[in-house]
Structure 1
Amino acid sequence: MSMPVVFVHGTRVSGTMWSPVRALLRAPSAAPDLPGHGRRRGLPYDTEAACGVVAEAIEDLGGRALVVGLSLGGYVGIATAARHPDLVAGLVAMGCTARPDVPWARAYRLAGRLAARDPALADRVSRFVLRRMLPGAAGEAMIEGGLSSEVVASVVAAVTAEDPLASLAAYPGRVWLVNGTRDHLRADEQAFLRACADGNLTHLPGRGHLTVLADPAWLARFIDDAARTVAPCPG
């Protein structure tokens, strides 16, 4: 028996980024679009609204689920776990173990301002970069649901206003932190691990921030194992 899984996507892409993993997953799953992304493009983005979308997806799957997020999705997963621990049976947080209040956040704010000036150009550049970083099905899944570069500034403002370490400390459930060894957002992973009540850390050798998606079969197995771990025993 496996716990259902709710996948949470990254900035400016959509739930389709998880399609290659979901196609190989045994557990039932959903991958909703966050506000301002995909089918919710144009809606204002903030953390409360994003957590509400994840909570609604969990309710639709029966009221309790493993939450899996990458990058922005990981930060949203952490925030959702703290706000709705009764809904989040476990958390797989990928590529999101850097404190959002450190100097590198300034670079993301600048990127958000530049994207807001010409979102169409930013979308074209993103499509090119994503296809180069993730050739084949993984890259196509990233762009399949459309890109929303105009939302980047709002996302950065929302993420940098959060305290993910406090959120992890408030969540009593099982947490899996997963990082590529070449991911710049693993900078504070040991502090994030210490904040978990019940956590462990997995490294993917040679993988970067997004290239952790390059092996969907491995990810599906990992997530299925996590979903079984947090599933209640029959009877």
Structure 2
Amino acid sequence: MAPALPVVLVHGLRASRTMWRAQVEALERAGHVALAVDLPGHGERIAETFTWDGALQAVRDGVDAVGGRALVVGLSLGGYVAVAHAARYPEQVAGLVAAACSSRPYPAVLRAWAAAADGFFARLPDRGAAINQALVDRTLPPQAAVDVGAGGFALDVVGDTMRAMRRADPLTDLARLDVPVWIVNGRFDHFRGEERRFVAACREGHLVVVPGATHLVSLVQPVRFTRVLLEVLDDLDARAEPSGVVRAQVPRADAPDDAGPVGHDDDVVAEPFERGRRHAPGVAAAEVQAVPVEDGPQPLDDLADPS
């Protein structure tokens, strides 16, 4: 049997690789190598300047470190970077999860965010640290707030990132991919506006909407988000079986008794397949809405570029 597919995770703006602690631990318990990377200007690379090429190289290096091919998972800024990485280095990507990044980065929006960062937050005595911490404390569960804060916050990276994001072209990049893509959003994510357009751009796209979650879906609903990743991996593993036998039919293929809990308040345990899926305890299948391509995603009316 082939080794379990590794996973590379890419964080959001101002955060770092520590935001993925819950997912990394759960994936490793399930038998997958999981590596969360820091983008330039973030985490352990905070002294660097964020550039688009540097961000794509960070993901490329991460995939090389886990064997050269992986499921790549990105959230928000990390989602846009992961999409671009997959288009530039398709040989490295077995599948793609693009979370919380289902709106095109319009130039006018990017300019507004860069101006706010450079003209307001950068001039505050604490560079916006108090506002950032208040938002973290107010919007995230306690354990998630600890995890995302463990790597520090990149308070000075927003302007450079918004300028670099002008090179992002997610719809064009998604259309180039030959691998399956999962577009994952929290139900209350303000970045959901074009999610069906994003799915429709993919040759094989799947839309998953996580109830009770906002933009930072992996932090707000870590169990549900991790279950999505486990199901994606099950799907990719089943496709990779040379015999055509679904791994659920192979005794101990998923070793549920050895996986164990992840040690967080919301434990995620690798469970046996049920119709090809592994479920987190206490999370019913209906609690994560998977929207089949044939049932939903259709091109939306064109949104005017406000720039």
Conserved 8 A contact 1:7-1:32:
yes
Supply the distance in 1 between the matched residues of 2:216 and 2:132 (Cα, whole angstroms).
13
Asked if 1:21 is matched to 2:61, the reply is no
Q: Which of these residues, 58, 76, 98, is aligned with residue 103 of structure 2?
A: 98
> How many residues were matched structurally?
235
Supply the distance in 2 between the matched residues of 1:23 and 1:189 (Cα, whole angstroms).
29
Once the two structures are overlaid, the 10-residue window that deviates more, 218-227 or 119-128, is 119-128
Backbone CA RMSD of aligned residues: 1.8
Q: TM-score, normalised by structure 2?
A: 0.72
Conserved 8 A contact 1:134-1:211:
no
For 1:194, the equivalent position in structure 2 comes to 200
Q: Which has the larger radius of gyration?
A: 2
Query: Which residue identity does 1:53 align to in structure 2?
Result: A
Conserved 8 A contact 1:11-1:71:
yes
Write the deviation string for residues 125-176 of structure 1: whole angstroms up to 9, x where unpaired: 2122112111211111111101111011111111233111111111111100
Query: Which residue identity does 1:120 align to in structure 2?
Result: D
For 1:33, the equivalent position in structure 2 comes to 38
Supply the distance in 1 between the matched residues of 2:209 and 2:202 (Cα, whole angstroms).
17
Conserved 8 A contact 1:169-1:197:
yes
- What 5-or-longer segments of structure 1 have no aligned partner? none
Supply the distance in 2 between the matched residues of 1:111 and 1:70 (Cα, whole angstroms).
22
Query: Which residue identity does 2:52 align to in structure 1?
Result: T
Conserved 8 A contact 2:111-2:162:
no
For 2:47, the equivalent position in structure 1 comes to 42
Q: TM-score, normalised by structure 1?
A: 0.93
For 2:75, the equivalent position in structure 1 comes to 70
Conserved 8 A contact 1:112-1:156:
no
Conserved 8 A contact 2:8-2:71:
yes
Query: Which residue identity does 2:49 align to in structure 1?
Result: P
Supply the distance in 1 between the matched residues of 2:41 and 2:125 (Cα, whole angstroms).
13
Higher relative contact order (CA 8 A, sep 6+): 1
Query: Which residue identity does 1:37 align to in structure 2?
Result: H
1:211 Cα deviation from its structure 2 partner = 4.4
Give the secondary-structure state (helix, strand or coil) at the position aligned to 1:203. Answer: strand
Q: Which of these residues, 27, 44, 56, is aligned with residue 51 of structure 1?
A: 56
Q: Which runs of structure 1 show a deviation greater than 4 angstroms over 4 or more consecutive aligned residues?
A: none
- What 5-or-longer segments of structure 2 have no aligned partner? 244-307
Give the secondary-structure state (helix, strand or coil) at the position aligned to 1:185. Answer: coil
Write the deviation string for residues 39-65 of structure 1: whole angstroms up to 9, x where unpaired: 001111111111111111111101100
Structure with the larger helix share? 1
For 2:12, the equivalent position in structure 1 comes to 10
Q: Which of these residues, 237, 241, 246, is aligned with residue 233 of structure 1?
A: 241
1:101 Cα deviation from its structure 2 partner = 1.2
